[in-house]
Amino acid sequence: MNTRKIVITGGPGTGKSSIINELLKRDYICFEEISRQVTLDARKDGIDQLFLSKPLLFSELLLEARTKQYIDAESLNEHLVFLDRGLPDVLAYMDYANSDYPKHFVDICKTHVYDKVFVLAPWQEIFVSDSERYENFDQAVKIHHALLDTYVRFGYELIDVPFDSIEKRADFIIDTLNL
């Protein structure tokens, strides 16, 4: 069986994790965002914001973990898997930070292709900063544009998820996929 890999992406604070949690409640297979875990692991080593202090190392760790998620999704004998962010997100954040990255970052994005990409736009009413999310709303908007540019650069047709309740946003995604 060829597992369809569905990415839910967007800038920080747009509701991705809430939608993933809703899809999990509905018994869909989902892979959660891993950047928070990378950040928390770095804090155990005394580095408060790894992305800010060592963006290439942080991005390399994310690329490894998201590649593993992609491979794990492929190995499941499931019709589809939802992923909270995809590999191109790593490049988008590096572009946003004006940081260079090695060619293998691009190569991995070219060889690990997702079936659909849903995008959540910045939404001021639900945006909240926390200890792992250092960005403010204006930065979230800039990251959103970097994400759009990066996914389009890799040839993805992006599907905008409308502002609505978590349940209705999840319904929109499921309806769009004709499930």
* pLDDT at residue 131 in the model: 55
For residues 18 and 166, the answer to whether their CB atoms sit within 8 Å is: yes
Measuring CA to CA, how many Å separate 100 from each of 18, 72, 87, 105, 167? 31, 28, 16, 10, 38
Q: What is the pLDDT of residues 35-59, one digit of tens each?
A: 877 777 778 877 777 766 787 888 9
Domains of the chain: 4-174 (3.40.50.300)
- The residues of the chain scoring below 70 in pLDDT are 1, 51-52, 129-134, 179
* pLDDT at residue 29 in the model: 97
Question: What predicted TM-score, i.e. pTM, was given to this entire model?
Answer: 0.91
